[in-house]
Amino acid sequence: MTHRRTLLLGALATLICLQAPVARAAYPERTITLVVPFAPGGPTDIIARILSESLSQSLKQSVIVENKPGAAGNLGMGQAARAKPDGYTLLLASTAIAVNPALFEKLPYDPIKDFAPISELATSPNIVVVRPDSGINSIAELVARAKAAPGTFNYSSPGAGTKSHLTGEELKQRGGIEMTHIPYRGAGPAAIAALEGTVQVASVALPAAEPLVQGGQLRGLAVTGAKRWSSLPNVPTMEEAGYPGFISDTFSAVFVPSGTPPDIIALLAKHCREAFAGEKARQTAKAAGFEVVAGTPEQLAARLAAEIPAVKALVARAGIKVQQ
């Protein structure tokens, strides 16, 4: 009888252990890696440094930035997609996560299936600029000039497939004009091309052209954000220039691998949003050409779901070649 009782108690204890939830150590208990799929020093990297410093303090664990440039951001995003979904690998992506599905036939990740959104931290508009001696003072005048002299206008961008390139293509389509795209390696060289007169027009990320517009070396025709940029109050938006819904900006947003526990996602979303609530973070972001958003996971998911098909449609209309 005693032996039978012992066996029954042992079986009951085993059953209880199997049914009991597995305890998880309090998160975070070790260093967190923030993957940035671009080189150090760029706009996305600046946002990453703000975030890592804040999270290190608020989560009381080290958050290290790991730059993984290559293949238009696909290398780093692929690495993050394959990471263990435990909250110890974060991805700070740019709009490339929404643009690349339209530009590459094969990707090492699925932007919707492989990632869970945390927060859109900040956004930066593009700007369309010309030389002051061009005699072009507005988007309307640019369109009129280009229509009057078809095949003679060139425009520069930071590279094929960038949001600035897509801005130029959307302007061509909606304005009904022809301009030849001249890609450069970065926004700085693209802006300098307009300054030197190598091209008549430049479509670039705001930070590269902002000081040149402020200094009078270039003229800003329009910014592509939802509102005017605070330091360039006389430059209208594309919507104000007569193009409703023409908003083309670059975001910096945090993601984690799909399957990350919901409580960790909620905690990270809270701390990521708080990281950009302070005035210091806002001013640092503004100096880098970004406007703070600090949105929710739901808002980021909605933006990504809307932007991916919109970019695919624009790329198809523009005839931009998809890379193998």
Tell me, yes or no, whether 216 lies in a domain: yes
pLDDT at 11 over 50: no
Q: Is 243 a member of any domain?
A: no
- Residues 81, 134, single domain; the answer is no
Looking at the domain assignment, is residue 6 inside a domain?
no
Q: Are residues 206 and 268 in the same domain?
A: no
* Same domain for 255 and 194: no
Q: Mark which of 182, 208, 223 sits at the end of a domain.
A: 223
- Same domain as 118, residue 254: yes
In a shared domain, residues 115 and 154:
no
Quickly state the pLDDT bin for 309 (edges 50, 70, 90).
very high
Domain identity same for 279 and 143: no
pLDDT at 324: 58
Rounded Cα–Cα distance for residues 140 and 242 (Å): 8
Residues 187 and 131 both lie in one domain: yes
What pLDDT, on the 0 to 100 scale, is given for residue 160? 85
Domain annotation covers residue 150: yes
Whether 42 and 96 map to the same domain: the answer is yes
Q: 262: domain range? A: 32-123+250-318
Please check the confidence at residue 19 and state whether its pLDDT lies above 70.
Answer: no
Same domain flag for 143 and 209? yes
pLDDT tens string 173-208? 999 999 999 999 888 899 999 999 999 999 998 988
In a domain, residue 303? The reply is yes
**Which of 223, 320, 258, 289 shows the shortest CA–CA distance to 46?**
289
Interatomic CA distance for residues 209 and 192, integer angstroms: 9
Q: What is the CATH number of the domain that holds 209?
A: 3.40.190.10
Average pLDDT of the residues in 127-149: 96
User: Would you tell me how many other CB atoms lie within 10 Å of the CB of residue 246?
Assistant: 18
For residues 282 and 291, give the distance between their C-alpha atoms in angstroms, rounded to a whole number.
Answer: 7
Examine residue 239 and state whether it is found in any structural domain, yes or no.
no
Closest CA to 139 of 201, 77, 214: 201
Q: At 318, is the pLDDT very low, low, confident or very high (cuts 50, 70, 90)?
A: confident
In this structure, the answer to whether residues 151 and 300 fall within a common structural domain is no
Residues 115, 136 within the same domain: no
Residue 4: inside a domain: no
Q: Which of 183, 205, 223 is the last residue of a domain?
A: 223
CATH number at residue 275: 3.40.190.150
Does 134 lie in the same domain as 106? Answer: no
